Amino acid sequence: MYIFFVNMLFHAHKRVEALKEKVSKDRLQDVATAHRRRLENEELEARLNSLREEETKKQDSEVDIAVIKEPVDAPSSSFTSSPPKEDTVVSQSTKPVTSKKKRK
């Protein structure tokens, strides 16, 4: 009977204890992984928000520059300029065409 308890139940008890330890370690790793992912997500959201703010500031500054430039461009656009003159190309032939026939 002693052999039965030592050989069968003791090994099963060791196995159960090892599984309990493994499960607890896995749970701790899952918690640590979830915490790390949450921190990474918060960092990424902070970066994204800062990039969005920079983009909106850039767009606002471009709008301000365009508003400032419009009055400067407006008087110059009110003048009507004459269309550009087209140059006529005169073709010159290098050899004159002659219709002389040779006499025999």
DSSP string covering the chain: -HHHIIIIIHHHHHHHHHHHHHHHHHHHHHHHHHHHHHHHHHHHHHHHHHHHHHHHHHHHHHHHHHHHHHHHHHHHHHSPPPPPPPPPPPP--SS---------
Chain mean pLDDT for the chain: 76
pLDDT in tens, 50-97: 999 999 888 877 766 666 665 554 555 555 555 555 555 555 555 555
The answer to the question of residue 61 being in a domain is yes
The answer to the question of residue 88 being in a domain is no
| Domain assignment of residue 67, given as a range | 10-75
Residue 80 covered by a domain: no
Name the domain count of the chain. 1
Q: What's the pTM value of the predicted model, to 2 decimals?
A: 0.45
User: Is 71 part of a structural domain of the chain?
Assistant: yes
